[in-house]
Copies of this chain bind each other. A is one copy, B any other.
Amino acid sequence: MRAGKGRKIKFVGLAHGETSSGIVQRIEDYRKVADELGALLVVDAVATLAGIPLNVAKQGIDICFSGSQKAISAPPGMAPITVNTRVEEAMQARKEPVRSWYFDLTSAMNYWGKERLYHHTPPITLIYAMREALRAVLEEGLEARWERHARNQQALIAGVEAMGLELFVSNAADRLVTVTAINIPAGIEDGKVRRQLLDEFNIEIAGGLGPIKGKIWRVGLMGYSCQETNILLFLAALEKTLHDQGFRLPAGAGVAAAIQNYQHSAQPVAVGARK
């Protein structure tokens, strides 16, 4: 993004869902900056597409890409991408050819043209899987899916707070629905807790990166995994684990608070259950 002497900034980019900290970015703020600079807006929606509200056209996103394996819940190995006509024009106007064959959209786009020029052998098994995953997204409905993600995170938050834990992101409006960052309480060892959760309960949560390594846990709730069953099991498993690690907490409070939270929101529906 840094512009050299007299060089124009061409792109403004952001991660919609900042998974390293559990923060959601406000796309509109970046759109304003991009407009001031006359730049294109690139949005990484890997952790957000099909999990929280996103409207590529309405939000003025020029390039938007995501991953197959997060809230879409298809196998990993694909990255959906969309570009608008402004980007197409910018690509056509390039003087220097793209250096990467793999990610040369100018060449890949010929595949959709009249000539149907072959760019690469498509990963057909993954494409079948993606189609099925998108069918499941449509069956649930995009808005219902967003609501499910929000509802389950609310129950998770109610649970961890009732256990006496604090969230890393204090301002509720900044919290990313699909990744909840929890402060590790003083005296508790990050690695021991995560190892016990994995070994004893087959639950994997992430640690912090860089300067917040050892200071936060990150709990992902995306797509299929984002369901009541997992919230309640995780809270129960975390209580047991923290207790074993010597952390004093009110017995049963986490699960109880989550249940109460669910009872005050719309009735949760098991993922994949017929309506």
A interface with B by C-beta (< 8 Å): 67, 69, 75-77, 99-100, 102-103, 121-126, 129
Contact = CB atoms under 8 A, between A and B. Distances in A.
Best-buried of A69, A121, A126 by chain B (most CB within 10 Å):
A121
Nearest to A125: B75
A103 B124 CA distance: 21
15 contacts: A69-B121, A75-B123, A76-B122, A77-B125, A77-B126, A99-B99, A99-B100, A100-B103, A102-B102, A123-B123, A123-B126, A125-B125, A125-B126, A125-B129, A126-B126
Contacts of A126: 75, 77, 123, 125-126
Assembly stoichiometry (copies): 2
Contacts of A100: 99-100, 102-103
Nearest to A103: B102
Nearest to A100: B100
A75 B78 CA distance: 14
Nearest to A75: B125
